[in-house]
Amino acid sequence: MMQFLSPIASLLGIEVEELMERLKSGAVAYGAVAAFALIAVAFLLVALNAWLTLLWGPIVAPGC
């Protein structure tokens, strides 16, 4: 991947080593954000299912 990233980064004036170091140092934070985003999506899907069940009844709503 680095062989493709280096020419593009050099055109933009970005050091590839610096970019990779920033990504590695922020990997834990990005992982935590991704985990919380997955939890939020799951919560929204459950809330949508509950709302559809109240709106249309358990026969038409998916899952119940």
Query: Is 90 exceeded by the pLDDT of residue 15?
Result: no
User: Are 58 and 45 a contacting pair, CB within 8 Å?
Assistant: no
Q: Determine, yes or no, domain membership for 63.
A: no
Q: Determine, yes or no, domain membership for 48.
A: yes
Cβ contacts of residue 9 below 8 Å, gap of 6+? 15, 16, 19
Please, which pLDDT band fits residue 61 given cuts at 50, 70 and 90? Answer: low
What ranges in 1-64 are assigned the alpha helix state H? Answer: 2-12, 16-25, 27-56
Domain count for the chain? 1
In the numeric block, which tokens belong to residue 37? 């985003």
User: Are 16 and 24 a contacting pair, CB within 8 Å?
Assistant: no
Query: Is 80 exceeded by the pLDDT of residue 5?
Result: no
Q: Structural domain of residue 26, as residue ranges?
A: 2-56
Query: Is 90 exceeded by the pLDDT of residue 24?
Result: no
What is the C-alpha separation between 56 and 64, in angstroms, rounded?
11
In the predicted model, what is the mean pLDDT of the chain?
Answer: 82
* pTM: predicted TM-score of the whole model, two decimal places: 0.58
